[in-house]
Amino acid sequence: MQPILEISRLTKTYSGGFTALKGVDLTINKGEIFALLGPNGAGKTTLIGAVCGLVRPTSGTIHAFGEDMASNWRSLRARIGLVPQELATDMFEPVRRAVSDSRGLFGLAPDAGKIEEILRALSLWDKRDAQIRTLSGGMKRRVLIAKALAHDPELLFLDEPTAGVDVELRRDMWRQIALLRERGTTVILTTHYLEEAEEMADRVGIINKGEILMVDEKAAMMERLGRTEALISLAQPLNEIPEALSAFPVTLAEDGRVLCYRGDGGGEGGGAGTTEVAQLTKALIAAGIDYTAIDIHESSLEDIFVNLLEGGAA
């Protein structure tokens, strides 16, 4: 994997004394979609701001495309795009001119064909002459994406891209982001919608209180930290766990009528957990314990996230 962004020991303490980033180390690989997960105030936006030039880091280094951002900011910023969390732009500008101006601001010659391509891809072409203020919230957010894409960035930051948009538009946005990846753009998105990270990201980073708690491939993270949980409804209640089942991580619930299995190994396909549940059912049959139903499910990224934030996993 070729790194496209390398952040090393990055700290940011604001003038009021609040430390938003506490020695963040993070490497983003070329071509991936990276989701930075964290609750409000975790430091996500500050981290993005530090890379994009909105925030002055207190210490630490940022390298993009192998070069130091502090000394080569001009050439490097030209290759980075940012879609901010807030719908912040001149609302009186017409869509096409706003997007074209963004291209000009990044020092590129006007390219009507390119702007048309971007607007069509984001379903904004019909609104090209409309003032931005007349568009819906979702459309406005697309305009900000179009503006960020106008200079063909190789690395794109999306700060809470689907905050406040409805489910349909959110899925539409996911499709747009997937298309960007297909075109080779590296995407870093912050979100507190776990579903979003689970749906889109190749890798996930979890940040809280200015510290990166974990970075891993989404599938590996779910496999490593995920749990398989099975609830087996028994035909006859048990008073205690039989000797034949002592090797399994099981407990009794609901007055012995339900056998609860909580094992390791989440992720796609269930990993080791589902295999063990299969072995458990065989052991039940062998021990002559009848059951009427099995409810088996894998823990989601949300469970992992909550556990991490609560310090329940490491």
Partner 1 sequence: MSLFNARSAWTIYKRELLRAFRTALQSILAPVLTTTLYFVVFGAAIGGQMQGGMGGVNYGAFIVPGLLLLTILGESTSNASFGIYMPRFTGAIYELLSAPVGVSETLVGFVGAAATKSLILATIILVTASFFVDYSIAHPVYAFGYILLVSASFSLFGFILGIWADNFEKLSIVPMLILMPLTFLGGTFYSIQVLPEPWRSVAMANPVVYLVNGLRWTFYGQSDFPIGLSLGLTLLFLAFCVGLIAWIFKTGWRLRA
The residue ranges that bind partner 1 (CB under 8 A) are 14, 46, 49, 52-56, 73-75, 77-78, 80, 82, 84, 86, 88-90, 92-93, 101-102, 104-109, 147
Cα–Cα nearest to 162, from 152, 151, 176, 150: 176
- Smallest distance, partner 1 to C-beta of residue 71, A: 12
The β-bridge partners of 81 are: 156
Burial of 199 (0-12, 13-18, 19+ CB in 10 A): middle
* Residue placing its CB nearer to partner 1 in the complex, 154 or 302: 154
- Smallest distance, partner 1 to C-beta of residue 74, A: 4
- Smallest distance, partner 1 to C-beta of residue 49, A: 7
State the virtual CA torsion across 115, 118, 121, 125 in degrees, nearest 10.
-40
- Smallest distance, partner 1 to C-beta of residue 241, A: 57
Rg (CA), the chain: 24
CA–CA gap between residue 208 and residue 42 (Å, rounded): 4
- Smallest distance, partner 1 to C-beta of residue 56, A: 5
* Residue placing its CB nearer to partner 1 in the complex, 93 or 172: 93
* Residue placing its CB nearer to partner 1 in the complex, 54 or 278: 54
Beta carbons of 21 and 11 less than 8 angstroms apart: yes
- Smallest distance, partner 1 to C-beta of residue 306, A: 30
CA–CA gap between residue 189 and residue 177 (Å, rounded): 10
Both structure tokens of 95: 């869509």
Count Cα neighbours of 12 within 13 Å in the Cβ-side half-sphere: 26
* Residue placing its CB nearer to partner 1 in the complex, 74 or 239: 74
Cα–Cα nearest to 171, from 150, 137, 200: 200
What b-and-e string marks burial along 269-302, b requiring 16 or more CB atoms within 10 Å of the CB?
Answer: ebbebbebbeebbebbeeeebeeeeeebebbbbe
* Residue placing its CB nearer to partner 1 in the complex, 79 or 257: 79
Answer left, alpha or beta for residue 208, where phi above 0 means left and psi between -120 and 50 means alpha.
beta
* Residue placing its CB nearer to partner 1 in the complex, 12 or 127: 12
- Smallest distance, partner 1 to C-beta of residue 52, A: 4
* Residue placing its CB nearer to partner 1 in the complex, 44 or 203: 44
